[in-house]
Structure 1
Amino acid sequence: MESRRHLVPRESSRHGSSFEVPSQTVAARTTSAHVMKNREQRRSAELLEAIAQIDTITDPVTQAELAGWIQERYEERGGGTLIGLFGHCYLGHPYVDHRMDVAGNITQHFKMADAVPGPFAAARPLARSSAYLFIEIYDDGQVVPVRPDGSSAI
């Protein structure tokens, strides 16, 4: 089912009417308040650095160790079940973005014309913005953009 974004009028300000775009970062109603609060917490500088490095490491043993470390940090945080990350790809042309599974493996690189599957599709327009370092995708359908300072955009 295709989701459509609609402009929703806000209260008028002294400068005239303004509109807001509804969030794409809404979780399922079954997600607990505790889990949601944990998703809002700032990610550590170490985690951000590890995620940025995973795309450039060529040694499979080092990559697996780093991926395991990343997965442990997400499990310790208690933010729910992460199904993967989506972000800008630094390999260069023709690739523009990629998805990474919870084990830290880059599972697929995408060219501009490639279709992005399933729950990762909602993250693609966000990944193209320099406002976000990467986007987290959870099993409850929530898409959480993460800023370069580690704060979430939810």
Structure 2
Amino acid sequence: MEKRLRSKRSSAFVEAMAKLDVSGVIATKEKVQEFIDQIAGEFPDLAADQLPLGIVSKCYLGNPYEVHSLDARLQIIDHYKRGEILPNGMEKARRLAMHPGYVYIEVYMNMICAVSQSGEVSMIKE
């Protein structure tokens, strides 16, 4: 599994994750399902319990929002204000999500994968 997670993400997938809140509004249920389907499509060889717990990235809604998350288990997008704690172990991705070198952060049970615009992955194990 670790070898698979280290592999470069497709440009289409990176672009889709970069657009989580590009419209500046809360995503519709259909849009969230589209993201969930893209996650499953990017990792067809992983079992459901091996998929990310969630995706965290910088939020562009403006002050006071800082990051947003796509929770792959609950299939929701939430926006978090500065100081508001992300649930389900996703808080550990906040600082990296704010880093300009990464488009988004995939959160797994025992690691996080920071993904750059080129699709390259930096893995941090806990």
Question: Which residue number in structure 2 is paired with residue 60 of structure 1?
Answer: 28
- Answer yes or no: is 1:148 the counterpart of 2:82: no
In the alignment of these two chains, the number of paired residues is: 118
Question: What is the deviation of 1:146?
Answer: 0.9
Q: Partners in 2 of 1:54 and 1:88 — Cα distance?
A: 10
Q: Which runs of 4+ in 1 moved over 6 A?
A: none
- Answer yes or no: is 1:73 the counterpart of 2:44: no
- Answer yes or no: is 1:84 the counterpart of 2:54: yes
Identical-pair percentage? 25
For 2:66, the aligned partner's letter is V
Q: Partners in 2 of 1:54 and 1:62 — Cα distance?
A: 13
Unaligned stretches of 5+ residues in structure 1:
1-34
Please tell me the root mean square deviation across aligned C-alpha atoms, in Å: 2.3
For 2:35, the aligned partner's letter is A
For 1:95, the aligned partner's letter is Y
Unaligned stretches of 5+ residues in structure 2:
none
For 1:153, the aligned partner's letter is S
Counterpart pick for 2:84 among 114, 127, 133: 114
Q: Given the superposition, is the C-alpha separation of residues 54 and 153 from structure 1 closer, same or farther in structure 2, using an over 3 Å criterion?
A: same
Question: What is the deviation of 1:90?
Answer: 1.2
- Answer yes or no: is 1:37 the counterpart of 2:3: yes
Q: TM-score, normalised on structure 2?
A: 0.79
Question: Which residue number in structure 2 is paired with residue 24 of structure 1?
Answer: none
Question: What is the deviation of 1:54?
Answer: 2.8
Deviation larger for 86-95 or 60-69: 60-69
Question: Based on CA coordinates, which of the two structures has the bigger radius of gyration?
Answer: 1
Alpha carbons 2:13, 2:42 under 8 Å: kept: no
Alpha carbons 1:54, 1:66 under 8 Å: kept: no
Counterpart pick for 2:17 among 31, 51, 61: 51
Counterpart pick for 1:98 among 68, 75, 84: 68
